[in-house]
Amino acid sequence: MFVATECIASSSGYAIRQENGMSGGTTVPRISDPAEGVDGVRAAVRRRLGACADTVKFYADYRKRVLRFPPAAWPGGRDIMFIEK
């Protein structure tokens, strides 16, 4: 078997967000091992290797998209008639 355990991602990148914060409420399993900075990634890799992983997966994000207003037009698209103030 070629085993890959949880992936490593930034702490704000692949977290499942839920609104039920009460004790005894529903919980969801985490989908990534959060890591921030060089030392955090190094520690996360060691945790993955300690969990007997044969390969280490990284989820690397690019910069978040900046919402543009008005959005870029495309051929055949209609112009904005009423711009928000």
Q: Number of H helices and number of E strands within the chain? A: 1, 3
Q: What is the pLDDT of residue 43?
A: 94
CA distance 52 to 43: 15
Pick from 52, 63, 54, 84: nearest CA to 10: 63
Q: What is the pLDDT of residue 31?
A: 77
CA distance 35 to 9: 6
Q: Which domain holds residue 85?
A: 1-16+28-85
Pick from 2, 62, 7, 58: nearest CA to 30: 7
Residue 73 included in any domain: yes
CA distance 71 to 69: 5
Q: What is the pLDDT of residue 2?
A: 87
Residue 22 included in any domain: no
Q: Considering its fold, how many domains does the chain have in total? A: 1
- Find the distance separating the first CA and the last CA of the chain, reported in whole Å: 59
**pLDDT digit of tens for each residue in the chain (85 aa)?**
888 888 888 876 665 666 665 666 666 677 788 888 889 999 999 999 998 899 999 887 655 555 555 555 666 666 666 666 5
Residue 11 included in any domain: yes
